[in-house]
Amino acid sequence: MPTSSELAARVAPPRPRPSLLRTAYLAGVALVFLFMFTPLIFVIWVSLFKNEIITFPPQGYTLRWFGNAWANAAFLNGFISSIEIGAFAMLAGLALGVPASFALVRGRFPGREVLAAFLLSPLIVPGIVAGTAIYIYFVEIELMTGVRMIATLPGFIVAHVALTIPWTVRLISASLVGLDRAVEEAAMNLGARPFTTFRRITLPMIRPGVVAAGIFSFIVSFTDLEMSLFLIGPGRSTLPIAMLQYLEWKFDPTVAAVSVVQIAIIGVGLVVTDRFVKLSKVV
């Protein structure tokens, strides 16, 4: 008599072997991911090299470059400036982006599509082009009004706020589109005014999108280099600019250590952002 395992083996259909096309597809995906992550892996690896001049293979490994990075005044001041400017740009972008998103998603007015395209248009403009355009715009403002915006802190912050608004509008709009309006209508039917409904019902319901927009806006401002190069004032720097200036005179694992810290901050921010709003819906 055949055993139960033998009977199950006879009844169960044979497992299909992976086709050659699927194997090639998976191999291609693996190669793409390897191509994307190889630079990050090498940056992390180089930051641990013991030898001051980057050579392969390394003579050993050490963590002293991380201490050397933050002992450098240019890196420390640039890091603090990037944090401060990124935080202010994030808050200002949210203050402008939340009502703009609400108007675009809920409003019905002439030119709504044009306004939406205008607010999202910086996403398709390369950073170097955006920096040049803002620089020329500030020059025109100074010629017409006499108000200096180039190489000033207010002008620099205004440019970073403009950089964050498209991402804020996109992330918050994604949250508003998927929001069930029945709860808002129930609150208004019970006597709540529109502003009260927005403050106590709508805003808490879209809080994940607001948090994600704030984090992503901070990341965009914190990592910006192209636009900042055109607008930064004398005696002031951001972390990406400090890294670029350091590489002009010296090339050792210190800048790789700074890059690892920057990568870690960006990675944590993206993971938290994706926790609140799936980036696949908006990117």
- DSSP at 61: B
Question: What pLDDT score was predicted for residue 276?
Answer: 66
**Facing residues of 61 across strands?**
49
Does residue 263 register a pLDDT over 80?
yes
Q: What is the pLDDT of residue 200?
A: 80
User: For the purposes of burial, counting CB atoms within 10 Å of the CB of 107, is it exposed (0-12), middle (13-18) or buried (19 or more)?
Assistant: exposed
Q: Which residue has the higher pLDDT, 70 or 9?
A: 70
| Res 3: pLDDT | 58
Average pLDDT score over residue span 35-43: 83
Domains and their CATH numbers in the chain: 72-281 (1.10.3720.10)
| pLDDT grade for 27, boundaries at 50, 70 and 90 | confident
pLDDT of 96 strictly over 80: yes
CB 201 within 8 A of CB 187: yes
pLDDT at 52 over 80: no
* Mean pLDDT value across the chain: 79
Give CA–CA dist 169/226, Å, rounded: 22
Lowest mean pLDDT among 14-18, 117-121, 219-223: 14-18
